[in-house]
Structure 1
Amino acid sequence: MDPLLLGLIVAVATVLVLFSGIPVALGLLIVSAGFLVVFDGMRSLELMPEILFGKLDNFALLSIPMFIIMGAAIASTRAGADLYEALERWLTRVPGGLVISNLGACALFSAMSGSSPATCAAIGKMGIPEMRKRGYPDSVAAGSIAAGGTLGILIPPSVTMIVYGIATETSIGRLFLAGVVPGLMLVALFMAWSIYSTWKSGNMQVLTANRYSWREKVEILPRVLPFLAIILGVLFAMYGGIATPSETAAVGALLCLVMAMVIYSLWSPRAIWTVLRDSTRESVMILFIIGAAGVFSYMLSSLFITQSIAEWIGTLQVNRWVLMAAINLFLLVAGFFLPPVAVILMAAPILLPIITTAGFDPIWFAVVLTINMEIGLISPPVGLNLYVINGIAPDISLRTILVGSLPYVGCMVLAIVLLCLFPGLATWLPDVVMGPGT
């Protein structure tokens, strides 16, 4: 059978299996085993366990559970609420200060926790009632938090970037640095739109309702600055050549647990057990997907599907930007239905030879791919953040939350366009800190 036709059949079968509702990792294994048996015989199944566990035999994977523990330790405390209160106290007299403080809190907390749902829950519980109390439209209050929560998968340390680095054998350090400037750019675009929409709705006068003394501003800082210092310390150790990403993640996880115990009295064995249990559950899920995706990639390669697609793309007489537009459309649609980790592990092995053949930088592409995944987090039918916000404020309809988040989707699309026009936004910082990429 023609490999391209076989690839189409594999794609359709994969979509149908994943849409059936079974776990992503199990679905990938079922599809892989089915096609390997049909085209390579039963003996091919003997290789599946070796490939699955071989994919997990990677020291860099240790950073995933460690960063997840960091996030779980922070998310289990009042750190999100304190971070929100600190920014609100310091920025309340700035025009648009409340909406800026909400988005700033989302950016910082998502970077600390690495979890989009945790960010929406932690900041949304404080920010949404406060914005509604001051007269902000429900769409602005809900949409800004839903969009702000997506920033965690781009701003380092990002588990999504680690997964991409492992899937494509790309430097995780360079990927972390590549997400800094685009992440800050997205925060700026989100803030600009939020202030504009607030001004347009005629609610600017409510933004200076509260006054805080210098004592009130300073007294909350000791509760949030230690966690920010840990994140900065992890990044400094990583890029200062002091330790590897896995080692810094382990130290960061331990320090976050200690800080949670000291600052928020997280001494209860039950509370600590909850943090470790939830971290283990999420880590196993991600690692299982990584192993299954390795088997899936092997199946595609052994049936010459990956090579044939890359060769076919290379023979197309189309502008490379037309090709990139088609890839972005594919990623956007995939992100509507599947979690970011699954999309990256399934698509990266196929797309990497295509984008490198077309002359695109894989580090730059990682940022573009991640922003596409961010869009999926606030877009139906899955749109995880939309449902988290609806759970926090059930009297705000899903339609209102969606309408409020759509302008932020536009901001993300604009960010992708700017990255295409100015690739240096993603590649400049890695080249400055770590030297030009090879």
Structure 2
Amino acid sequence: MDPLVLGGIVAISTILVLFSGVSVGLGLLIVSTGFLLVFDGLRSLELLPEILFGKLDNFALLSIPMFIIMGASIASTRAGADLYEALERWLTRVPGGLVISNLGACALFAAMSGSSPATCAAIGKMGIPEMRKRGYPDGVAAGSIAAGGTLGILIPPSVTMIVYGIATETSIGRLFLAGVFPGLLLVSLFMAWSLYSTWKYGDRALLASTTYTWKQKFEILPRVLPFLAIIVGVLYAMYGGIATPSETAAVGALLCLLIAMIIYKLWNPKDLWLVLRDSTKESVMILFIIAAAGVFSYMLSSLYITQSIAEWIATLDVNRWVLMGAVNVFLLIAGFFLPPVAVILMAAPILLPIITTAGFDPIWFAVILTINMEIGLISPPVGLNLYVINGIAPDISLKTILKGSLPFVACMVIAILLLCVFPGIATWLPDAVMGQAL
């Protein structure tokens, strides 16, 4: 059978299996095993255990559970509420200041936790009721938190970037640095829209805002600054050549646990057990998907599907930006239905040779891919962040949350276009800190 036709059958089969309700990791194993058995015989199955466990034999993977523990220990405390309150006290008299403080809190909490749902939950529980109480429209209140939560997979340290680095054998340090300026760009675009929408609706919220004394503004900072210091310290240790990403993640996780215990009195063994239990469950889920995706990639390569698609793309007489546009459409559609980790692990083996052949930087492409995944987090039918917000504020309909999120989707599309015109937004910092990639 022609490998391209076979590739189409594999794609359709994978979609059907994943839509059946099975987990992503198990679905990938079922599809991989079935096609290898049919087209390559029983002998191919002998290698599957070695491939499955061999994919996990990577020291860099240790950073995933460590960063997850780091985020879980922060999410289990009032750190998000304190971060929100600190920004709200400092920005309360700025037009649209409450929306801006929520977005700023989302960005900082995302940097600390690396999790989009955790960011939505932590900041949204405080921010949404407060914005509604002060006269902001429901769509603005819910949409800003849903969009701000997506920053968790872009602003370092990001588990999604770690997964991309492992899947494509790309420097995780460079990927983290590449996400800094695009993350700040997105925050700036989100805040710009918030200022415009506040002006458009009339800043009724400013009339209802509370005035804080300088003492009240400064007294909240000691509860927030230690966590921010950990983030700065982790990044400094990583880029200062002091430690590897896995080592810095382990130290960061330990320090976050200690600060949660000291500042927020997280002494109860049951609470600590919940942090470790939830972190273990999430880590195992991600690692299982990574292992299953390794088998899936082996199946695609063994049946010559990946190579045939790359060769077919190379023969197309199209402008490379037309090609990139098609890739973006594919990523958007995939992000509507699948979680970011699954999309990266399934698509990277196919897309990487295509984009490098077309002359695109894989570090730059990681940022483009991640922003596409962010759009998927606030777009139906899956739109995880939409459901998280709906769970926090069940009286706000999903339709209202979605309408409030759409302007922020437009901001993400603008960010992608700016990155295409000015790729240095993503590549300058990695090159400046770590030197030109070979």
TM superposition score category, shorter chain reference:
over 0.9
1:345-360 matches, within 5 Å, as 345-360=345-360
1:120-159 matches, within 5 Å, as 120-159=120-159
Counterpart of 2:5, as a letter, is: L
Between the two proteins, the alignment pairs up a number of residues equal to: 438
Counterpart of 1:251, as a letter, is: V
Gapped runs of 5+ residues in structure 2? none
Match of 2:169 in 1: 169
- Post-superposition Cα deviations, 1:143-167, rounded to whole Å, max 9, x if no partner, equal 0000000001000000000000000
- Post-superposition Cα deviations, 1:150-190, rounded to whole Å, max 9, x if no partner, equal 00100000000000000000000000000000000000000
1:13-32 matches, within 5 Å, as 13-32=13-32
**Segments ≥4 residues shifted beyond 4 Å:** none
Structure 1 CA distance for aligned equivalents of residues 207 and 424 of structure 2: 36
SS in 1 for 2:140: helix
Counterpart of 2:352, as a letter, is: L
1:6-405 matches, within 5 Å, as 6-203=6-203, 206=206, 209-405=209-405
Q: Deviation of residue 208 (structure 1)?
A: 6.5
- Shift of the 116–240 alpha-carbon distance from structure 1 to 2, 3 Å rule, reads same
Q: Deviation of residue 93 (structure 1)?
A: 1.7
SS in 2 for 1:230: helix
SS in 2 for 1:355: helix
Structure 1 CA distance for aligned equivalents of residues 97 and 375 of structure 2: 25
Task: Please tell me the root mean square deviation across aligned C-alpha atoms, in Å.
Answer: 0.7
Contact kept in structure 2, 1:92 and 1:208, CA below 8 Å:
no
Counterpart of 2:180, as a letter, is: V
Structure 2 CA distance for aligned equivalents of residues 294 and 207 of structure 1: 56
Q: Deviation of residue 94 (structure 1)?
A: 1.8
Structure 1 CA distance for aligned equivalents of residues 332 and 205 of structure 2: 38
Counterpart of 1:62, as a letter, is: L
- Post-superposition Cα deviations, 1:194-253, rounded to whole Å, max 9, x if no partner, equal 111111011356267211111101111110100000011000000000000000000000
- Over the matched positions of the two proteins, sequence identity in percent amounts to 85
Structure 2 CA distance for aligned equivalents of residues 98 and 154 of structure 1: 23
Structure 2 CA distance for aligned equivalents of residues 137 and 204 of structure 1: 10
Counterpart of 1:192, as a letter, is: A
- Shift of the 228–207 alpha-carbon distance from structure 1 to 2, 3 Å rule, reads farther
Structure 2 CA distance for aligned equivalents of residues 345 and 205 of structure 1: 44
Counterpart of 1:278, as a letter, is: D
Q: Deviation of residue 95 (structure 1)?
A: 2.0
Q: Deviation of residue 403 (structure 1)?
A: 0.2
Contact kept in structure 1, 2:335 and 2:343, CA below 8 Å:
yes
Please report the TM-score for the alignment, with normalisation by the length of structure 2. Answer: 0.99
Q: Deviation of residue 46 (structure 1)?
A: 1.1
Counterpart of 1:123, as a letter, is: I
- Post-superposition Cα deviations, 1:116-167, rounded to whole Å, max 9, x if no partner, equal 1111111001000110011000000000000000001000000000000000
Structure 2 CA distance for aligned equivalents of residues 270 and 207 of structure 1: 44
Please report the TM-score for the alignment, with normalisation by the length of structure 1. Answer: 0.99
Structure 2 CA distance for aligned equivalents of residues 230 and 98 of structure 1: 26
